[in-house]
Structure 1
């Protein structure tokens, strides 16, 4: 359910401001890691921001730092809940006039095994699957009408794990699905002017790193954020379809 206290406070404040002109950049999973780093870079590039998280209280400090209520719309939103995304997208376009970039970044990861009891038990797998597959699919569908009107840009966070075989790794399978999702959305968008980019980061220094990989080479979240800004800053005649970015030294199948 949308955290109505945060979302509606933002709506009340912003509806009185109605700042038009600067493009609007929406980021799901924005409270930390890649999402927060990308928000910092997008704010510096002049975007107004729509930042979402399941835990909107985690967005308060970030939103204040990046410009306050006239530049940042912080909203509680669960990307596995279609109606929450649809509601938010319609209100943002109504109040701010457009949605120009959408970064479908929210994701989840748990360790899995099909032959042992290591990792999370199977009942705990479903949230990861819903977040990583339905999340970007719902985000794309909810914001696509606005993106078509603005001839905007959709970016989806996949993973280097979505390119190779990882024994027993359900997370990898969900990111394979995101790879296909991005390609299929782009195929449907070719006549709309909407650009679609699949971002495939390698191991990134976030709270989701498995303990077994903490000593491996890692990207900083801002490294990935810069790749996002690179894609969306290209001329409208350029559609960057895929970006694979790994830390120097990461093995090709990791």
Structure 2
């Protein structure tokens, strides 16, 4: 059994399903003490039962800066420090720019971009103390924007830009910054869509390929953070073999 993270402390946001849940389980299996946060905190109880290691469940809303600070503080209080932050919380509400419900834009910006920033800001002093790692779950949409996905892409481009600036600020102080950019993954993310045209397009696209699974992304996270301290895996782009775009 891989115990490469024995004794390390990890905080995973958006851990109630999908990539966040799979990552929390994989890191627990690798020996880490894992704090898991989500708005749907009731779902975290089942994750806690399935994890082989010690797990702290947190009611966390990354759009609320005070909530992110409380989550980081609770993690440090429980486990004595923080080695890895996995910023995974996000939502995708794709649709055309013309006629869009701009409240959905605000939700994406607040969750995907500001939520990542708030949690990173709260965790950074502790990560500097332990020469830790920040893992940002971005997207292929952080590299190229598609019609109907302009605002989602803008948030992910923003995450990538924020992460590169952060890397330049902290890498010489021992903190590694990792950006993971998945393509099409079989998660609940697409269920967030409210636009019927986008829903139909997503269903057609998903049915035409062998999708990535959440566990595939969790393995990439584990690979990046398990490297020796002098090795920084700064970016991992992962697409399904069948995804051409």
TM-score of the pair, normalised by structure 2? 0.89
| Alignment pair present for 1:48 and 2:37 | no
Matches within 5 A, 1:121-200: 121-169=101-149, 170-200=151-181
Instruction: Please state how far the C-alpha of 1:87 moved relative to its aligned partner.
Output: 1.8
1:58 counterpart residue number:
43
User: Residue 208 of structure 1: which of 189, 213, 223 is its match?
Assistant: 189
CA RMSD of aligned residues (A): 1.4
Unaligned stretches of 5+ in structure 1?
Answer: 1-20
| Alignment pair present for 1:249 and 2:242 | yes
2:194 counterpart residue number:
none
Runs of 4+ with >3 A deviation: none
Q: Which segment is superposed worse, 82-91 or 120-129?
A: 120-129
Q: Deviations over 1:204-234 (max 9, x none)?
A: 0011224422313210010011000000000
Instruction: Give the secondary structure class of the aligned counterpart of 2:242.
Output: coil
Q: Aligned pair in 2 of structure 1 residues 58, 241: CA closer, same or farther (>3 Å)? A: same
On the 8 A contact 1:25/1:49 being kept in 2, the answer is yes
On the 8 A contact 1:50/1:73 being kept in 2, the answer is yes
| Distance in structure 2 (CA, Å) of the matches to 1:78 and 1:171 | 19
1:95 counterpart residue number:
78
Unaligned stretches of 5+ in structure 2?
Answer: 1-5, 191-198
| Distance in structure 2 (CA, Å) of the matches to 1:239 and 1:203 | 25
| Alignment pair present for 1:37 and 2:17 | no
| Distance in structure 2 (CA, Å) of the matches to 1:114 and 1:181 | 24
Instruction: Please state how far the C-alpha of 1:90 moved relative to its aligned partner.
Output: 1.9
TM-score of the pair, normalised by structure 1? 0.86
Q: Deviations over 1:157-186 (max 9, x none)?
A: 110011013124211111111110110110
On the 8 A contact 1:216/1:250 being kept in 2, the answer is no
1:72 counterpart residue number:
55
Instruction: Give the secondary structure class of the aligned counterpart of 1:25.
Output: strand
| Alignment pair present for 1:84 and 2:73 | no
Instruction: Give the secondary structure class of the aligned counterpart of 1:165.
Output: coil
Instruction: Please state how far the C-alpha of 1:122 moved relative to its aligned partner.
Output: 1.9
| Distance in structure 1 (CA, Å) of the matches to 2:62 and 2:145 | 27
Q: Aligned pair in 2 of structure 1 residues 211, 41: CA closer, same or farther (>3 Å)? A: farther
